[in-house]
Amino acid sequence: MKNNKTQIIAEVAQGFEGNPIYSQLFVKAAASAGADAVKFQLVYADELATPDYKYYDLFKSLEMNDEVWQNISNLAIENDIALHLDIFGGKSVQLAEALEVEAVKIHGTDIANKRLLNIVSQTKIKKVILGAGGALQSEILVALDVLKNKEVILLLGFQSYPTANSDNHINRIQWAKDIFSKVHPSIKIGFADHANPETNIHLGLGAMAIGFGAEVLEKHLTLAKSMKMEDHESALNPDEFLDYVNFIHECTSAIGEVAQQDDFGMSESEFGYRKMIRRHVVTIDSVSEGEVFSSDNLALKRTSSTQALNDMSEVIGKMASKSISSNSPVEF
């Protein structure tokens, strides 16, 4: 799969509406838009609700047979995009494992579902996205303990059709990384971005999240907002999603790394900038041979000298080896 520092998941959720053709189009659209993974909800109505629930028939309409899911998996491989699946019970977990998906997601509604957590922990599936929208710290800690043998992405953020800016609490990202890495050292923090797609914040929110330490972004994708498909309220059209991916990768490239050394691991370009902006050490007044240099008799100015020192600390405390007139560079 692609090797980007920030992983971007194209979230289909229930947007495929139980339609195999739509599902295939979503895979192709997500891949063309540059997403690293495409995620569907693997729905079996009886894992989500009892038959008397008002949306039971909707959940039933989302069910697709194993062959359709296998075709989706094959198409994802052909298009070099990872397949992720939301799972809600033993049957969906079993199929996800059989499909050898890269990751499964445990929705925030199941973060306290110990039965499901235990089932997932016993599978060969290596990566688990743990939805934490609406979850308590205590619930997250219990879930992480059950999933201690898995690679976990803790996904903050929640869907509110769309979510109000002030409800995103981006500052939880760094907090979560500090707190939960103590119990699950390899944990990654992700952010489910449900910004209003009709405003500029739909780009800025994801950029802010990675600035606070998010390594995974989940963003809703729809085939066309005009179709008003399921979960379209905070979704982007494929061309908009491509713009989003490119924007996030540009922002990611600006984050960089900090080396534990005096120069922070600055780039060659920054070294060039440093060299260009350094001014030369010059005398304020004339300095006699044997006189000790100090901050009182030195200044930094630009000169035409090609041999002048530019680091005052290399001069202060040393004696002049010869007399130097005022306003002159100190040369090596």
Q: What is the pLDDT of residues 147-189, one digit of tens each?
A: 999 999 999 998 887 788 888 889 999 999 999 999 999 999 9
Query: Tell me, what's the pLDDT at 20?
Result: 98
Encoding tokens for residue 111? 């973060």
Query: Tell me, what's the pLDDT at 191?
Result: 96
pTM for this model (two decimals): 0.86
Rg (CA), the chain: 28
- Exposure letters 119-148 (e unless 16+ CB within 10 A, then b): bbbeeebebbbbbbbebeeeebeebbebbe
What's the rounded Cα separation, in Å, for the pair 66 and 43? 12
Residue 128, pLDDT > 50, answer yes
C-alpha distances in Å from residue 9, one per residue of 12, 65, 164, 209? 9, 24, 21, 14
Residue 231, pLDDT > 80, answer no
For the residues 262-278, what does the mean pLDDT come to? 91
Confirm if 163 and 138 have CB atoms less than 8 A apart: no
Query: Tell me, what's the pLDDT at 23?
Result: 98
Cα atoms found within 13 Å of the Cα of residue 104, Cβ hemisphere only: 28
Task: Indicate the SS3 state at residue 48.
Answer: helix
Percent of the residues in the chain that have a pLDDT greater than 90, as a whole number: 86
| CATH dotted code for 261-332 | 3.90.1210.10
Please give the residue that has the higher pLDDT: either 243 or 234: 243
Encoding tokens for residue 70? 């296998």
- Delimiting residues of CATH 3.20.20.70 domain(s) in the chain: 7-253
| CATH dotted code for 7-253 | 3.20.20.70
Cα atoms found within 13 Å of the Cα of residue 144, Cβ hemisphere only: 25
Burial (0-12, 13-18, 19+ Cβ within 10 Å), 152? buried
Query: Tell me, what's the pLDDT at 2?
Result: 47
Please give the residue that has the higher pLDDT: either 293 or 258: 293
DSSP string covering 53-86, please? Answer: STTHHHHHHT---HHHHHHHHHHHHHTT-EEEEE
What's the rounded Cα separation, in Å, for the pair 107 and 38? 16
Mean pLDDT across the chain, nearest whole number? 94
- Delimiting residues of CATH 3.90.1210.10 domain(s) in the chain: 261-332
Residue 121 carries which side chain, given as an amino acid letter? Answer: S
